[in-house]
Amino acid sequence: MAASPPRLAVAKTYKLFIGGSFPRSESGRYLIARTPNGDHVANYCNASRKDLRDAVRIARAAQPAWQSASAFLRGQILYRAAEVLESRRAAFLPELALAGYDPKSAARQVDLAIDRLVHYAGWTDKLSAVFGSVNPVASPHWNVTSPEPCGVTGVVCPDSPSLLGLVTLIAAPLVTGNAVVAIASEKEALSAISFAEVLAVSDVPSGVVNILTGIRSELAPGLASHQEVNTILDAAGDEPVSKILAGGASANLKRVHHWHLTSAQWEGEDAENPYRILDTVEFKTAWHPSAL
């Protein structure tokens, strides 16, 4: 009896993450992920400007319900994402190793990403208490200021640390109820889509987080000029892209914050600073009559 041929493993297909689903790019284009030695690892989608517009449209539709969810619920969902990432920890190590991280660095990055989710989960029901205020006014009114989400946040991720940077830049806007459209690391994109799989089973409502892979210089102009994007977190450290974002954002005066951090800062307290959450926050002041 002839021996059966060896089984071929099912190769993972890396797609986009838009509206809670994993579509291919409408353009049909793809990019090749390679090891530092140039060996082919996988193909992944090269998102188009239409993919970006679709992601923003879906994020805009999903954002109001996410904002209206209780702070406790948002914290529970972020904590759930940390639980799922912890359970899939081992699956991320080979992807990060293929991107050039040594085993110790890869493990540290995944552990820090898990801890970062827990950190921001704890801020969801504390941010208003810490940064809100009751203001003294010279009239018979209660005057209260509270932080509110800007709406849709565009995120441009650093090339490295690819996973930790992505997780931090997504988690911070989610704290107060923003929706997110993220452009993943251009050089180390695979772990971004694997993290999207974590979000897909973590009770994050469809459309609240959308992750695109592709060439950021192609996607940045659309992100900057889109009228439905309210704020941008730019962490790419790419000067031409930063200029594109600043120039395009002038059309609707959206805020652009540059998170140009070193590897040590991404891993340390600087990236956990609660003031970074305020980059995607507006402060609303309400007046209410009160008895003298």
Instruction: Render pLDDT for 237-256 as a digit per residue (tens, 0 to 9).
Output: 889 999 999 888 777 788 99
> Around Cβ 25, how many Cβ atoms within 10 Å?
21
pLDDT in tens, 166-183: 999 999 999 999 999 999
pLDDT in tens, 11-36: 788 999 999 999 999 999 999 988 88
Say how far apart CA 279 and CA 230 lie, in whole Å: 11
> Around Cβ 17, how many Cβ atoms within 10 Å?
24
Query: Cis ω on the peptide bond leading into residue 161 (within 30° of 0)?
Result: yes
**pLDDT exceeds cutoff 60 at 292:** no
Q: What b-and-e string marks burial along 172-209, b requiring 16 or more CB atoms within 10 Å of the CB?
A: bbbbbbbbbbbbbbbebbbbbbbbbbbbbebebeebbb
Every domain of the chain and the residues it spans: 30-289
pLDDT in tens, 31-68: 998 888 888 889 999 999 999 999 999 999 999 999 99
Give me the DSSP letters along 17-35.
BBTTB-PPPTT--EEEEE-
Contact 146, 132 (CB under 8 A): yes
Contact 34, 100 (CB under 8 A): no
pLDDT in tens, 88-112: 999 999 999 988 899 999 999 999 9
Residue 287 forms beta bridges with which residues? 143
pLDDT at 113: 97
**pLDDT exceeds cutoff 80 at 3:** no
- The amino acid at residue 82 is A
Structural class in CATH, domain 30-289: alpha beta
Residues 111-122 have a mean pLDDT of: 96
